[in-house]
Every structure is written in C-alpha cells, then in structure tokens.
Amino acid sequence: MKKTIQIPLGSQHISLLEPIRFKFECENERIIGVDADVGFVHRGVELACTRSFEFKQVGYVVARVCGLCAITHSLSYTLAVEKLLGYVANDRIKYLRMLMVELDRIHSHMLCLAHTAENAGFEALFMQIMGDRELVMEVQEAISGNRVQFDYISIGGVNRDLTSDLCDLIRKNLTILSEKMEILTGLFDNNWSLSLKYKGVGVLSLEDAYTYNALGPLARASGLATDVRAETSDFPYEALGYTMILESTGDIHARNFVRLREIVNSITMCQNIVDNLPIGEIQEKVKGKPKGEDIIRIEAPRGELFYLVRGNGTNMLERVRIKTPTFSGIPAMMEVFKGSQYADAPAILASFDPCMSCTAK
Amino acid sequence: MKFFTTFRKKSPWILHYNAGSCNGCDIEILASLAPKFDLERFGVINTGNPKQSDIFLVTGPVTYRSRERLVELYTQIPEPKVVVAVGSCTATGGVFRGMVNTEDGIDRYIPVDVYVPGCASSPQLIIDGLVKALEILEAKSKEIEKPFKLFGAIETIGNKLSRLNMAKKVHNDEN
C-alpha cells in the first residue's frame, strides 16, 4: 500500500485573499485527493434580505455579498424586482448599467490575472497589472463616486449621470489600457518562465467541464460555449460588439487568455457604449410593491449569476435566492487539482478566480 | 535592542486576515500595496506568517467560524503588535450588523488600535491608518523595551507571591 500525506492549504494563507480550506491528499508531490471547505465567511445575507431590510434597501445589501462583482449582484436583484413591478428601463439606463458591469468585469479580470501571476511567483508582473488596473478604478471612481462598492444602480434607474467630461476620461483611459493590454498579452504569450508554470498545468477537459457544470471563463477556456450575455436578451450586447471568446486547451494559460481577450472585448464594448449613448432620463419613478416570483440571470465576471426573488405585495420580500458562479464551479475545481503537483496548487487556485464571499454569502 | 527598534520601525510586516468581509476592503489592501499608492515605501510587506508580522490587518465583521482563527492568529503574532480594523463592518458590523451569523465587529474578541472607516475603505484611508499604526507600534516598542528589575520587594496577594507586581520597572523604583 502506498503511503499518502495530507497537506492543508488555508484557511489563512499568503496566496489566499479570503478564507477557504483545502485538504490535499498527496502522494509524494502529486495530489490525488481534494477536500474543500468553503463556509468560513457565511453571514446570512439571504435571510437578512427577507427579515431586516425592505425591498428598496435590499439592492444595496446584496451588493455587499461580494466586493468584486458588487454591481452584478445589485443589477440582478434590481432587474428581478423591476420585472415583478412591470417596469422596463429606457435605453440610456440600460447602456449606463452595461457600462458599469463591463468596467467591473475589466477590473475583476485584471485582479485575477495579477493574482495568478503572483501565485506563480512573478511578483513584478503582479505589480505591473495592478498598476494598469488603476486606470479602470479611476474611471469607476469618477463615474460612481466610489472605487469598489459603488451603489450605482437603484430600482428605476441609475444614481449618477455621465457627463461629457467623464466620457472624455473614459475614452482616454480605455485607449491607454488597450495599448497596455497588448503588452500584457505578449508577456503572457511569450514569457518562457511563465509558460512553465501555466502551459499544460491544471487542465480541465471539455467533457469534465460539461459534466461538472463549469461556468464562465473556466468553462470557456475548455471550449464550452456558455455565456449568459449571448443567451439572454436583457441587454443589447450583440449590437455593441460582443463576441464569445473560446479557448480549447483548458489549462491555466487558456484561462488567462480568455480573461485577457475578454478584457479587450469589454474595452471595445465600453467605447461603443460611450460613443452611442442614447438620450433620456436616468432615474424614473417606479410604483407598487413586488408580487409574484421571478428569476434573472446575469453574466458576472466569474460566470452565471442567478437570482430568484419572491414577493407577496408587501414591503418585505418572501425569498431572495442567490446562486453564484463559484458555488457551481467548485466540483470542477476539485477535479482539476487531482493529478497536478502540490507546488502548482496556489496558481491553479488563483486561475479559477474563486470568490468565497459570493459562495458562502 | 536598538537594532530591533530601528528595523521594526522601518519594515513593519503586515498579516492580512479576512474575517467575513465582502472582498471590497481586501482588494483595496492589494491595490494600496500596488504601484499607484505604494504602501511598500514604508517597508510594508504582506506576509502570510503570523509569527513574522507586526501589524494585523483585519477586514469584515467576525463570522461564527472565523472567530477562533482570528483570536489564534492574534495570539501568534509576537509583541509588540498593532491591530488595524479595515472597513466599517469591522468596527460596528456595518451593513451586516445583526445578521444571524455575524458578531458585530472584531473588538469583541481582540483589542483594536486603529479603526479605518469606509465601505469599502479607500487606499488613501488604509495608508492613513497604517501610518497611525506605525506611531502606535513605535510607542509600544519603547514601552516593551524599558528595562525590568525582576526581583523587587516581596509582595503577596492573598497569601500568594505576586510575581507580576514584583517585576517592577527600574525607573519606577528610582522615583
């Protein structure tokens, strides 16, 4: 019988932004079994949404489920409630909401790329990407007034308008960013020492991605064509230059490349939005109380975000159910770890871009 | 001893722990370590090891499962140590106050030296908080490095030798 050793990773570790614990069953350096524990940050947001907050406040509460994709959470909730109230937003509101979601996607993907580079031992690249990321953060701060938790979306519209000065700032920063993205793409593609850490490491095959229900960039890196932006028609993504980005190899390199190319795609979409911004009101009055049940799906930076909202005609909601992309991705993640080296585990973990506060809520 | 004081002041290493936050403050801590805000100019390095750290950065209201780990990490950091609570929810619970699984702030479990407000705290505020923490760290180091005379006059509390009271500071004796 072969002897195995158990090595824990977490709950507090230098390579982790948030608490998650893995128990790796190792045979020499090779991982043969994984056990994950994800519930360290469970706060009980879903319950509080139905007990302590009225439905108009809940949009700002669910944004605090996750700081990275805060805008997608508040957008999904707001859309679900607006559907129940029978309100359809005008084009300007839709475009402004899309703009913030895409900016959020850019900064979230850049953080993930930086983190993957750091965990692979490339500290200088981490610093470089984080420096470039400030261009997007600047734009977000200028538009919404806050860098991370921008409570930009409210029921019936958005809270701030886009002036012509802001449009100029967005155009300027995004142009600089798209030049920087070319340099970064070259680095990720051609750097030999990075390729040793990334190419052929942590492979998720197309069959496994399909079987274990992978979502978002994790699935698209394996060639599984799934993107809520293409499947739903809540927003005019097709008209603004959206293309689905697919890679085939399914390793860390492919995941990085899906993210890099999605950033470039999102930059194009943001520029299109700013150029073709329709005229209209940014905030409209919505009357009534939500009654009935509705679901909504939005593409968060990590994959499909699902919301179910049920109301009974009063100020308090009956049920808010949040299903986040990382939660669905955990079985696929555990599968990828099996068979890879223990030394690669932090880089593989970072390449999934896991969001534990989303998962545990 | 002066050797340690100098280097502690010049290179305070931080330990970061997420006690149930929404990631917002955590990514701002990362952003403040990055080139634009450059916290590393104070000599700050993010370490994962509590035994090498001086400053403890905590984010988030304490959740039920993270409190044991929070206290354990705190006790593993060697003296002198400074605790910086980043974010509104670390101070009072913030938006998570009263939720079923949270504990409304970390000062129920460990003593806090600096509170950094904001949801999410901006890098400027975090830098401000850390500079304040450096001052406190310096004061604490001085306090800890005052020489002790271990055997002063014999004191007893309730028929037992009180070693704590016997270990008096030298300058106190002189006064």
Q: What is the mean pLDDT of residues A120-125?
A: 84
Task: For residue A168, give both structure tokens.
Answer: 């100029």
**Do residues B137 and B107 lie in contact, with contact meaning Cβ atoms separated by under 8 Å?**
no
Chain A CB contacts of B18 below 8 Å: 17-19, 41, 357
Task: For residue A110, give both structure tokens.
Answer: 């850049």
Q: What angle do CA B80, B83, B86 make, to 5 degrees?
A: 160
- Residue limits of CATH 3.40.50.12280 in chain B: 2-144
Preferred mutation among A64, A65, A104 to probe B, highest tally of B CBs within 10 A = A64
User: Which pLDDT score is estimated for B164?
Assistant: 67
Interface ipTM above 0.85:
no
Tell me the per-residue pLDDT of B12-23, one tens digit each, with 9 for 90 and over. Answer: 888 888 888 888
Tell me if B18 and A134 make a contact (CB, 8 A cut-off): no
User: Which pLDDT score is estimated for A197?
Assistant: 80
In 3-state terms, what secondary structure has residue B46?
strand
pLDDT at B171 over 70: no
Residue A18 C-alpha, separation from nearest chain B C-alpha, in angstroms: 6
Preferred mutation among B13, B15, B17, B18 to probe A, highest tally of A CBs within 10 A = B18
pLDDT category at A61 given cuts 50, 70, 90 is: confident
Instruction: Please give the single-letter amino acid code of residue B158.
Output: G
Q: CB of A142 within 8 Å of any CB in chain B?
A: no
| Region of residue B56 (phi > 0: left; psi between -120 and 50: alpha; otherwise: beta) | beta
Q: CB of A210 within 8 Å of any CB in chain B?
A: no
Tell me the per-residue pLDDT of A228-247, one tens digit each, with 9 for 90 and over. Answer: 888 887 888 888 888 888 88
Instruction: Please tell me the distance from the alpha carbon of residue B103 to that of residue B65, in angstroms, as a whole number.
Output: 10
Tell me the per-residue pLDDT of B39-61, one tens digit each, with 9 for 90 and over. Answer: 888 888 888 888 888 888 888 88
Instruction: Please tell me the distance from the alpha carbon of residue B12 to that of residue B113, in angstroms, as a whole number.
Output: 15
Spell out the domains of chain A, with CATH numbers in brackets: 43-360 (1.10.645.10)
Minimum CA–CA partner of B95 in chain A: A61
Tell me the per-residue pLDDT of A141-185, one tens digit each, with 9 for 90 and over. Answer: 888 888 888 888 888 888 888 888 888 888 888 899 889 888 888
Contacts of the segment A21-25: beta carbons below 8 A, 24+ positions apart: A22/A337, A22/A345, A22/A349, A24/A337, A24/A342, A24/A345
Task: For residue A27, give both structure tokens.
Answer: 């045979």
- Which top CATH class is B2-144? alpha beta
> Which chain B residues have any C-beta within 8 angstroms of a chain A C-beta?
17-18, 20-28, 30-31, 33-36, 46-50, 60-61, 63-66, 69, 73, 94-96, 98-102, 119-120, 122-123
Neighbours of B150 (CB within 10 A): 8
How many inter-chain contacts (A to B, CB under 8 Å) are there? 132
Per-residue b or e along B111-147, where b marks 16 or more CB atoms closer than 10 Å to that residue's CB: ebbbbbbbbbbbbebbbebbebbbebbbebbeeeeee
User: Which pLDDT score is estimated for B105?
Assistant: 80
